[in-house]
Structure 1
Amino acid sequence: MSQRGLFYGWVVLAAAATIVAVGQGSLFALGVFLKPLEDSMRWSRSAISLVALTNWIAMGLGSFFWGALSDRLGSRGVTVAGGVLLGTGLVLSSQATALWQLNVTFGVAVGFAAGAFLAPLSATATKWFTANRGLAVGVVSAGGGAGMLLLSPLTRWLTSLYDWRVAMLVLGDLAWVVTIPVALLIRNAPGEMGTVAMGGAATRQRDFSTGQVLRAPQFWAIALTHFACCAAHSGPIFHMVTHAIDQGVIPMVAATVLGVSGLSSIAGRIGSGLLADRFGAKRTLVAGLALQAAMVFSYLFTREAWSFFAAAVVFGIAYGGVMPLYALVTREYFGEKVMGTAYGAVFLISTLGMGFGSFAGGWIHDALGTYAWLFLASTAIGAGAMALAFTFRPPRILVGGAA
């Protein structure tokens, strides 16, 4: 079947990236809220970081739930429901007066809602593109970087102009206004538009059941690598703004540093997708994990604003670059049929790493008065992730026929 006019897969990618931007940007905004919450509510950094732990665990559970649901019902309805819940969670968070309330509204509701976006929409992207699949998943993942770039400075500006409650309320309204109508543009597969995937039908692979995926050694190799990767970079990301402020950087400038890392992560996500299309996802992942570990170590030596900006650029490329590769290797091993379920399960385990790293950073700072041990531990964990990635075996392909 020939393609005429604009290939609708590009519309799907743009819509998916926009939705992921709002979801991921809202999650990472908690790092910008950390200092204002500490000052106005008198909560410790470790206590607020526990909200981040809850947040990431809820997102992981949501990713598995929404991913499995999208395999059955499609990703459009899933993302609409996620958008409704995301806005509701943020609006309710703006009214929190106790830490347990923030844990429920931001930790559970916002986290579970955000799980409706990245895993299901990455799975959808792989259905629309068999050629340039790495680029497609990279574009969807790049939405996360765009969200950090745009929402982190916006959150800091609103907080400084009004307070954290107004800023969180605006984020909730933004979630409703953007994600719900944009989600209606999503189409789950090319057949819904009377067309075929760019690059033609996919190479046939073995069909896995959910149980077979969860019992496969390769699933656990991918999932544990993703866990260690996220445990390594989540603490430095979540505490980037407060670490910069502790070193004497002006708060608005510190929030901009986080935004810059989000900007460079866009280049990393798209660039790694292109490299994966050329050199393979495994090789690209190993290289990205090595760079990530090196840049986490470099935060031991950041003091002035310029050094934070320089580190943020390269660190953003590194942590952004590795993120879409897990969706690619999951698709390579387990195919299209259970992609939402398989990647949702991988992402669930990775979010435990995200929550662990975020919470550990706050706990380490409260206990020792410094983030130095966070950066040392994160470097070691990142090196472990790189070693695990070396264990990935080639996927099995069924010759003859199409998926």
Structure 2
Amino acid sequence: MKVFYGWVIVAVGFVVTCIGMGAMLSLGIFLQPMTEAMGWSRTGISTAALLNWLSMGVGAFVWGALSDRFGTRTVVLAGGVLLGIGLVTASQASTLWQFQLLFGVIVGSASGSFYTPITATTTRWFTEHRSLAVALVSAGIGLGSSTVGPFVRWMITAYDWRLAMLTLGEITWVLIIPAAFLIREPTAGPGAVTKGAPEGPEFTAAQVFRTPQFAAIALTYFACCAAHSGPIFHMVANAMDHGVTAMAATTVLSVAGLGSLAGKIVIGLTADRVGAKQTLVAGLFLQALAVSLYLFTRELGTFYALAALFGFAYGGVMPLYAILVREYFGARIMGTAFGAVALVSTLGMSLGPLAGGWLYDTFGSYFWLFIGSAGIGLGAVAIAFTFRAPRRVPAGLPTASLAH
């Protein structure tokens, strides 16, 4: 029985996002050990996370456009090489500005080459089960948080933060580069949509950027990421501040990653049945609720329970933005369109860690981080309510007429 190659693309995407995004998101594990070893402030290290997400956002847009032009395989190969270089050199940084440049800019830029281009390619492989396929690719991020985090914590405990980061860079080379060679674009066949085959609306990049729906999706994505990025990044440090041991606090982040993995699959299946917009609104509300509950969390057991709920919510909503972009704007420039939306979202991702670090250094706790994050999360819910149903292209009608 021949396996539909689209599922191979999903598997490759799962592995690449697991390793690539897991490596970038591991910075929160390094936060306290680096503060103690190097004397750097949490705000200073959190600035590397800000640069991380800003660079990833610009990278996602650039890599996405390049994948439309040169193919996703080439982009992922280049990103895999660059990610390893960033991690290996960042492990040798002797000053804060060097670390911010190497981990913040180089690692961030490289990480932008994975999720956006692979997701764009995945949507072109599937007409049915598209939400599930994209959710499974995105699930790699959740597994990366659950597996890379404990590995990094073990390496730091057994050796030091430098060797842990160096080893992580070498692992990215070993796993991502070979996997990239399995990526290919779809050809005409069951379940596949070629770049030139119309299915629903097809826009140019200029038309996409002028539509109100692009702005609505981008703003929702921004608010969603601004709401959860700070609590995620400071999750381990917050648990340790309440007396949880370092290894146990790391496993709290792992539980959030597993919750994220479950959320992507469950919410992906739900979106295939009831629609992406309705599912997104519900998921965003659950995310805001989970963030607010951190105000009352003090014990390890409740940290685990809340991490599972929070991970389920934020992990589940993330793949839905790619589905919405695909439904509204079509397949032809999916890499460019989703890359632009991702660029806006990473501004939100960069805001949370830095704001959390500044609020902690200023007030001595994460209280105001959780208050602000929950409020921004409710703002995302409000914007998502404004989404209109995607408009379909009647036979013979040029898509330019739908761009206004």
TM-score (normalizing by structure 1): 0.96
Q: Secondary structure at the match of 1:190?
A: coil
1:14 to 11, 16, 19: 11
Is 2:342 the partner of 1:347? yes
Q: How far did residue 368 of structure 1 move?
A: 0.2
- Partners in 1 of 2:282 and 2:37 — Cα distance? 42
Q: Does the aligned pair in 2 maintain the 1:203–1:397 contact within 8 Å?
A: no
Aligned twin of 1:253 = 248
Aligned twin of 1:197 = 191
- Partners in 2 of 1:85 and 1:31 — Cα distance? 21
Q: Secondary structure at the match of 1:393?
A: coil
Q: How far did residue 72 of structure 1 move?
A: 1.1
Aligned twin of 1:98 = 95
- Partners in 1 of 2:191 and 2:141 — Cα distance? 24
The residue type equivalent to 1:30 in the other structure is L
Q: How far did residue 400 of structure 1 move?
A: 4.4
The residue type equivalent to 2:70 in the other structure is L
The residue type equivalent to 2:365 in the other structure is T
- Partners in 2 of 1:77 and 1:345 — Cα distance? 20
The residue type equivalent to 1:375 in the other structure is F
2:212 to 210, 217, 221: 217
Q: How far did residue 203 of structure 1 move?
A: 6.3
2:389 to 354, 375, 394: 394
Instruction: Spell out the pairing of 1:351-370 with structure 2 (5 A cutoff).
Output: 351-370=346-365
Instruction: Spell out the pairing of 1:154-173 with structure 2 (5 A cutoff).
Output: 154-173=151-170
Task: Flag structure 1 segments of 5+ consecutive residues without an equivalent.
Answer: none
Aligned twin of 1:148 = 145
Aligned twin of 1:300 = 295
Q: Does the aligned pair in 1 maintain the 2:124–2:192 contact within 8 Å?
A: no
Aligned twin of 1:380 = 375
Q: Does the aligned pair in 1 maintain the 2:43–2:358 contact within 8 Å?
A: yes
Q: Does the aligned pair in 1 maintain the 2:84–2:173 contact within 8 Å?
A: yes
Q: Secondary structure at the match of 2:319?
A: helix
- Partners in 2 of 1:272 and 1:328 — Cα distance? 12
Alpha-carbon displacement from aligned partner over 1:26-69 (angstroms, at most 9, x marks no partner) = 11100000001110111111111010000000000000000001
- Partners in 1 of 2:11 and 2:269 — Cα distance? 17
Q: Does the aligned pair in 1 maintain the 2:224–2:380 contact within 8 Å?
A: yes
- Partners in 2 of 1:225 and 1:190 — Cα distance? 33
- Partners in 1 of 2:395 and 2:123 — Cα distance? 20
Q: How far did residue 382 of structure 1 move?
A: 0.1
The residue type equivalent to 1:108 in the other structure is V
Instruction: Spell out the pairing of 1:251-330 with structure 2 (5 A cutoff).
Output: 251-330=246-325
Moved over 2 A (4+): 195-207
1:130 to 107, 127, 130: 127
Q: Secondary structure at the match of 2:128?
A: coil
- Partners in 2 of 1:183 and 1:230 — Cα distance? 27
Aligned twin of 2:48 = 51
Q: How far did residue 196 of structure 1 move?
A: 3.8
Aligned twin of 2:402 = none
- Partners in 2 of 1:65 and 1:198 — Cα distance? 25
Q: How far did residue 264 of structure 1 move?
A: 1.1
Alpha-carbon displacement from aligned partner over 1:254-286 (angstroms, at most 9, x marks no partner) = 011101100110111111111111000000000
- Partners in 1 of 2:257 and 2:287 — Cα distance? 14
Aligned twin of 2:179 = 182
Q: Does the aligned pair in 2 maintain the 1:269–1:324 contact within 8 Å?
A: yes
The residue type equivalent to 1:358 in the other structure is P
Alpha-carbon displacement from aligned partner over 1:121-159 (angstroms, at most 9, x marks no partner) = 111111111000000100111010011010001010100
Identity %: 57
The residue type equivalent to 1:70 in the other structure is S
Task: Flag structure 2 segments of 5+ consecutive residues without an equivalent.
Answer: 400-404
- Partners in 1 of 2:132 and 2:395 — Cα distance? 26
Aligned twin of 2:31 = 34
Q: Does the aligned pair in 1 maintain the 2:48–2:99 contact within 8 Å?
A: yes
Q: Does the aligned pair in 1 maintain the 2:217–2:341 contact within 8 Å?
A: yes
- Partners in 1 of 2:165 and 2:209 — Cα distance? 37
The residue type equivalent to 1:8 in the other structure is Y
Alpha-carbon displacement from aligned partner over 1:317-360 (angstroms, at most 9, x marks no partner) = 00000100000001011100011001000001100100001100
Q: Does the aligned pair in 1 maintain the 2:186–2:192 contact within 8 Å?
A: no
For the aligned residue pairs, the C-alpha RMSD in angstroms reads 1.5
Most deviating of 380-389 and 266-275 = 266-275
Most deviating of 200-209 and 170-179 = 200-209
